[in-house]
Amino acid sequence: MCKTKPARGKGYTAGASCITSILMNDIEAKVNLETVAFCTCVGKDYLQDILPGCKNHLLPIEGEQFSSASNNMYPLGILDTNLLFSHPEGSIRMKTEIVVMDNCTSQHIILENDRLNFYGIDINNHKDRYFAIGENKRQKFAFSNMPKKISLVSSKRDTYKEEFVAYKLV
């Protein structure tokens, strides 16, 4: 399927992101399935918004150098966690290490290409954009059209989500 070509000088408006919602430690977060990323990473400010206090539990990282385009990125440590891609027909729990960057300003987690390959994540860019994980290509996961602001964590319990995480995961 071909889209209508944008007007001259507006080619940058034709793209779409690969951002979707996940659960990380039972909290909703946004993740970008990034096929050119070297490592899975997140900015310290976004991480603080979704998981306050987790900075105290980072694994050390030393001697590594990171860059994004022409900017140096400064790692603070590694967050060892699970990402949960929830789906009514069976969810996927992805064990991953996320490098926390001091100067990353994105408002989502960036999931790197090796992780996409390891879990068999296929991105479909046809008319109905979606991604599939593993062998079950009929189990489709949706992308967000517009990234929405993630609400802060509340002290209220969501028993439905707790039951889902505890009993209905693959």
What the block records as the tokens of 8 is 């001259």
**What is the mean pLDDT of each successive set of 10 residues along the chain, which is 170 residues long?**
67 72 91 86 94 91 83 92 82 90 91 85 74 75 55 47 59
Given this model, what pLDDT does residue 153 score? 38
Given this model, what pLDDT does residue 47 score? 95
Q: Can you tell me whether residue 113 is helix, strand or coil?
A: helix
Show the DSSP H helices in the chain as ranges. Answer: 44-50, 113-118, 159-167
Given this model, what pLDDT does residue 23 score? 92
Given this model, what pLDDT does residue 164 score? 60
In the chain the domains, ranked by start, together with CATH numbers, are: 17-167 (2.40.70.10)
| Distance from C-alpha of 141 to C-alpha of 164, rounded to nearest angstrom | 17
Given this model, what pLDDT does residue 155 score? 43
* pTM of this prediction exceeds 0.75: no
Number of Cβ within a 10 Å radius of residue 42:
25
